[in-house]
Amino acid sequence: MKTIYLDNNATTRVADEVFDAIRPFFTERYGNPSSMHFFGGSVAREIVNSRENMAKLLGASPQEIVFTSGGTESDSTAILSALSTMPDRREIVTTRVEHPAVLNLCKYLARVKGYTVRWLSVDKLGMLDMDEVKNVITDNTAIVSVMWANNETGVMYPVEEIAKIAAARGALTHTDAVQAVGKIPINLNKTDISFLSLSGHKLHAPKGIGALYIKRGTRFSPFMIGGHQEFSRRGGTENVPGIVGLGQAARLAMKNFEEENTRVKKMRDRLQQGLLERISQARVNGHPGNRLPNTLNIGFEFVEGEAILMKMDEKGICASSGSACTSGSLEPSHVLRAMGVPFTAVHGSIRFSLSRYNTEDEIEFVIEETPRIITTLRAMSPFNLETMKAACVVQ
């Protein structure tokens, strides 16, 4: 059976070009970039190239890029650095819809370290209230951390505008742009954004590599202290294959950026339209226009998301319910709950996330199969829609 992979916000396949570029760095060019001999030193040159490609994709300069082990490390590094370089400020501003890499770090900082966290709420389309943003950022704010795009719904946030507001208060801004990089244009050089996190494996590079952008002139305190690597901003021998792969992935993302993302968006829109036309009591979660081109989060009322995924799995379709990090528990998604999505739709919400490797035929197959799955599950349900509705009112 063919696999139809529509879970690209969880992870992506490594591009063939990336894989080919990486291979020699395991077996032939395994030198340490810090070595004095040419065998190692020539590898350092490759890191320089990767850093240049990475910077170019972000509209940044190479000195502003630090390679890390991924999105989570970049998030922790940025937020902890801001707190330690601004010890007089004891407040963090963030949103209720962040990835666990930011969300759980902030909860920890509040519970264990005594910081005050100001949680920004979102409306039913997943959008922030900019008046609330303005009011909550004060002279006590060390860092504002707002994701560029949400991994579950694809909703995008006005981080450039938020960074301007924060800068006027002397606060730093961090953005988790793991889902945004490569999907929407980013040009950091004219913004007030101090830190940006990205991850290789969401961008067709391997797992275990990422980067942190640190705006020139931003005071910085490293997370990993050790050797002089990464201009003494991140100690430890470099993950050379990862770094080379991330540089290649950045180069590929820049190639045909517009065409590829337009093609992906067209497939996403077709999937959305096809499913809404064929399935009753289905709704899109998140702002319909202000969304990443590749993401569709759709709630099928009165069905269990896990059951839908199991049925899809039988057809070779990979999607996800809630966020990958909360699946395995029956906890409904914190993002959809923050948006006030009705209980009856939260549990039946499915995220489809596409990439440039998907085809129109695959999308047509999913449009064909999904209505059958939903109908079967609704028929099997011990509740009819009315009793279920009544039960939900009580909860």
Ligand X SMILES: *Cc1c(COP(=O)(O)O)cnc(C)c1O
**Catalytic amino acids?**
325
**Contact set for ligand X, span 79-118 (CB under 6 A):** 99, 101
Under rule CB under 6 A, residue 72 binds ligand X: yes
CB count, 10 Å around CB of 252? 23
User: Whose CA is closest to 33, among 49, 44, 25?
Assistant: 44
C-alpha 327/C-alpha 310 separation (Å) is: 13
| Binding flag, residue 335, ligand X (CB under 6 A) | no
Candidate residues 178, 211, 240, 308; the one interacting with ligand X per rule CB under 6 A: 178
The token pair that represents 33 in the structure block: 């970039």
Nearer to ligand X, 72 or 272 (CB): 72
As measured in angstroms, the least distance from the Cβ of 267 to ligand X is 20
322 binds ligand X (CB under 6 A): no
Among 95, 179, 272, 295, the residue binding ligand X under the rule CB under 6 A is: 179
How many whole angstroms separate alpha carbon 278 and alpha carbon 175? Answer: 38
DSSP string, 181-245: BTTB---GGGS---EEEEEGGGTTS-TT-EEEEE-TT-----SS-SSSHHHHTS-S---HHHHHH
The dihedral over CA atoms of 199, 203, 209, 212, expressed in degrees to the nearest 10, equals -40
The least CB distance from residue 181 to ligand X, in Å, is 10
Pairing of strands 4-5, 317-318: parallel
Stretch of 39-47, 66-74, 122-130, 376-384 lying at the interface with ligand X (CB under 6 A) = 66-74
Is 176 a binding residue for ligand X by CB under 6 A? The answer is yes
Nearer residue to ligand X within complex by CB, 99 or 351:
99
For the stretch 218-225, contacts whose Cβ atoms lie closer than 8 Å and that sit 24 or more positions apart, written own/partner, are: 218/172, 218/194, 219/81, 219/85, 219/86, 220/81, 220/85, 221/80, 221/81, 221/84, 221/85, 222/77, 222/81, 223/73, 223/76, 223/77, 223/80, 223/81, 224/77
71 counts as binding ligand X under rule CB under 6 A? yes
Q: What gap in Å lies between CA 196 and CA 212, rounded to an integer?
A: 6
Nearer Cβ to ligand X (44/324): 324
* Shortest distance, position 22 Cβ to ligand X, whole Å: 17
Smallest distance from the beta carbon of 224 to ligand X, in angstroms?
Answer: 15
Stretch touching ligand X by CB under 6 A, among 35-43, 70-78, 233-241, 272-280: 70-78
Tell me the window of 45-53, 87-95, 174-182, 265-273 that interacts with ligand X (CB under 6 A).
174-182
* Minimum CB distance to ligand X smaller for 30 or for 108: 108
Least distance CB 381 / ligand X (angstroms) = 32
Those residues with Cβ within 8 angstroms of residue 168's Cβ, 6 or more apart along the chain or in another chain:
none
Contact of 183 with 262, CB cutoff 8 Å: no
Q: Does residue 294 belong to the site contacting ligand X (CB under 6 A)?
A: no
Whose CB is nearest to ligand X? Answer: 71
**What CA–CA distance (Å, rounded) separates 68 from 176?**
14
Q: Which of 12, 95, 151, 294 binds ligand X (CB under 6 A)?
A: 151
Region of 126 on the Ramachandran plot (φ > 0 left; ψ -120 to 50 alpha; else beta): left
Spatial distance between the Cα atoms of 54 and 45, rounded to a whole number of angstroms: 14
Measured torsion, CA atoms of residues 23, 356, 252, 177, in degrees rounded to the nearest 10? -100
At closest approach, how far in Å is the CB of 147 from ligand X? 6
- Mask for 350-389, x = binds ligand X (CB under 6 A): ----------------------------------------
Q: How far is the CB of 326 from ligand X (least distance, A)?
A: 13
Residue type, 198: L
* Residue 147 binds ligand X (CB under 6 A): yes
Category of 335 on φ-ψ map: left (φ > 0), alpha (ψ -120 to 50) or beta:
alpha
Q: Rank residues 238 and 301 by Cβ distance to ligand X and give the closer one.
A: 238
Site string for ligand X, 196-235 (x = CB under 6 A): ---x-xx-------x-------------------------
**Shortest Å distance, C-beta 246 to ligand X:** 11
**299 touching ligand X, by CB under 6 A:** no
Residue listed under structure tokens 């760095």: 25
Q: What is the size of the binding site for ligand X (CB under 6 A)?
A: 14
Binding region for ligand X (CB under 6 A): 70-72, 99, 101, 147, 151, 176, 178-179, 199, 201-202, 210
